[in-house]
Structure formats: C-alpha cells, structure tokens
Chain A
Amino acid sequence: DVVMTQSPLSLPVTLGQPASISCRSSQSLVSSDGYTYLNWFQQRPGQSPRRLIYKVSNRDSGVPDRFSGSGSGTDFTLTINRVEADDVGVYYCMQGTHWPWTFGQGTKVEIK
C-alpha cells in the first residue's frame, strides 16, 4: 500500500500568519491517465471530513482562496495563508492513484 506521511503532526499557528503542511507519498502519485490524484481534507472538531483540494491544486467550491495546494510526484504541500480561527482542525492528505487509496496520519492545526 502507498504510505502517506504528513509533517508536522501538530501545528500551532498564530492568527493571521501562514501555515504549511507537507505530505509525502511512498510512490509517485502520477496516474496512467496523467493525472495526480492527491487530495486534501479538513476535519473540524466533531464534524465529518470536508474536501478542500483535489488533484493537487484544485480548490473545491466554497473553499476560501486562503487555501492552496501544490507539489508533484511524491511531495505535496497544503498552504493556508492568514490562518483564521475557523481553520482549527485536523488536515489529511489522501492519494487516489493506487488502490487501496490511503490517507496521511493527519496534522492537527491549533491556534497559539
């Protein structure tokens, strides 16, 4: 199975400051169709997960443009510009290239 490794696992941030989460895969996530199926999810406390980003850098409808995704191959990053209180929660990367699709361990974002 493809192992997804996130860092850091805990990320204390100051309101209004940027934050970045790294996600590395044990294999390339470039699919035979040419797409890279690396996705990002947010899970606020007590809620179901919510997709933020799909195929590396495509933001879902309704997701603030403070969230952006980048990367290629095996190295990916989720960046939050100007963290707000509403951004507190756990963030997961997920690969959809190789079955079984797998998630990272999660990064807990909290406000300092």
Chain B
Amino acid sequence: EVQLVESGGGLIQPGGSLRLSCAASGLNVNSNYMSWVRQAPGKGLEWVSIIYAGGGTYYVDSVKGRFTISRDNSKNTLYLQMNSLRAEDTAVYYCARGGSNGPSSWGQGTLVTVSS
C-alpha cells in the first residue's frame, strides 16, 4: 500500500523559508513522477511542481525561482524548499504521486500559513 506523509508546515512570516518533506512508503520516489499540489483555505487545487523519474522539474509560474522540488532516494523522501514566502502561498500542501493522468496517490497534506 502506498503511503505519503507530509511534514514541515507551520506559521511563517512573509519573506521567510520553509522546507516541506514527504516520506513515502510502498513506492520509490526516484522511479515515479512526484508532485506538490496546494489548496488555499476554502479554495480549489493548484499544481505547484513536479519532478520526473529522470530528474526533470517543472514549476507553476507563481513559484518559479522561489520554490525548489527535490528528492532523497536514500530516505525515499520528496521535498519542497520554499523561499521568499508570500501571503498568497498560504495553503494545504499535498504530496502526490502521478503525472499527466493526475495523482493516483495523495498524502494527508500539511498546512503552511504565511502571516505576520
């Protein structure tokens, strides 16, 4: 059974940094398309970033240059480094497995709140 467990969310001031982690079991993060998808409070879903099995990465324009997706194969963990955080980055961040067919597995999400 696939399990994705996110951690690292919390309250952070505008301009600050956070690193989200997603510990995976039941799959290898290095051989799957792994993504971060976010959902602002009471709002819809937004794809943030993806890392392909081959290592290629893509970002939505609103986070390009500020967020970095990466993975540690030895820990079977996906990361999202978030810098220069803004109020509009406030959301639940989901770790997910999947690409063009949409995520087939999702974590429970971790809440990031950017506020002074």
Residues on A lying within 8 angstroms of B by beta carbon are 31, 35, 37, 39, 41, 48-51, 54-55, 60, 92, 94, 96-97, 99-106
Our pick among A37, A41, A50, A106 for the contact of B100 (Cβ within 8 Å) is A37
B11 at the interface (CB under 8 A from A): no
- Is B46's CB under 8 angstroms from A103's CB? yes
Q: Count A-B contacts at CB 8 Å.
A: 57
In the complex, what's the smallest C-beta–C-beta distance from B67 to chain A, in angstroms? 13
Please give, as numbers and ranges, the residues of chain B lying within 8 Å of A54 by CB-CB distance: 101-102, 104
Residues on B lying within 8 angstroms of A by beta carbon are 37, 44-47, 58-61, 94, 98-104, 106-109
Q: Which residue of B lies closest to A43 (CB)?
A: B45
Please give, as numbers and ranges, the residues of chain B lying within 8 Å of A96 by CB-CB distance: 99-102
- Is B45's CB under 8 angstroms from A51's CB? no
Please give, as numbers and ranges, the residues of chain B lying within 8 Å of A51 by CB-CB distance: 98, 101-104
Q: In the complex, A103 Cα to B103 Cα: how many Å?
A: 12
In the complex, what's the smallest C-beta–C-beta distance from A47 to chain B, in angstroms? 9
Please give, as numbers and ranges, the residues of chain B lying within 8 Å of A60 by CB-CB distance: 104
In the complex, what's the smallest C-beta–C-beta distance from A75 to chain B, in angstroms? 18
- Is B101's CB under 8 angstroms from A37's CB? yes
Please give, as numbers and ranges, the residues of chain A lying within 8 Å of B108 by CB-CB distance: 48
Given known contacts A48-B106, A100-B61, is B44 in contact with A106 (CB within 8 Å)?
Answer: yes
- Is B106's CB under 8 angstroms from A50's CB? yes
In the complex, what's the smallest C-beta–C-beta distance from A63 to chain B, in angstroms? 11
